Structure formats: C-alpha cells, structure tokens
Amino acid sequence: MVIPRALRDRIGLAGGGEVELELDGAAVRIEPVTGSELREDGGLLFIPATGAAIDAAAVRELIDADRHGR
C-alpha cells in the first residue's frame, strides 16, 4: 500500500513502516504500529526504551547544548 509522504509525515510513519488497518463505518482507519509495549514494574507503568544507551554526562551535554541554542 502506498501512502503519500505528506500523510506519513503527519502521523510519524517512516517509509516501509508497518500499519494497522481498522474498519470505521464505511471508512478504513490506518494507524502506524509503534511496537512499543506498556509494561508494569513495581507498580509503575513504563514504555521500554530502544536505541543506544547514554550516560549522565551525555544527558548534561544535550541539555547544555539545548540551553545555548535558545
């Protein structure tokens, strides 16, 4: 299925990404599949992180860079 880029960009769907189709009356609803799962740990809900791990020093650098960019 080809979805125009402008529409994909509006919903955060990358080219080749998975979508879920759902009937909505006489229409078909298309939603991106996020793959994120809501989990519970110690009574708290969280979404597991993906990607590279960063340490506290890297977080401080990103915060400082954002502050100086304003």
Q: How far is it, in rounded angstroms, from Cα 6 to Cα 14?
A: 11
Confidence of residue 28 (pLDDT cuts 50, 70, 90): very high
Query: If we measure between CA atoms, which residue out of 30, 38, 51 comes closest to residue 17?
Result: 30
DSSP state of 14: P
CB 52 within 8 A of CB 46: no
Q: What is the pLDDT of residue 44?
A: 86
Provide CB contacts within 8 A for 37, sequence distance 6+: 47, 48
Domain ranges of the chain: 5-69
Confidence of residue 59 (pLDDT cuts 50, 70, 90): very high
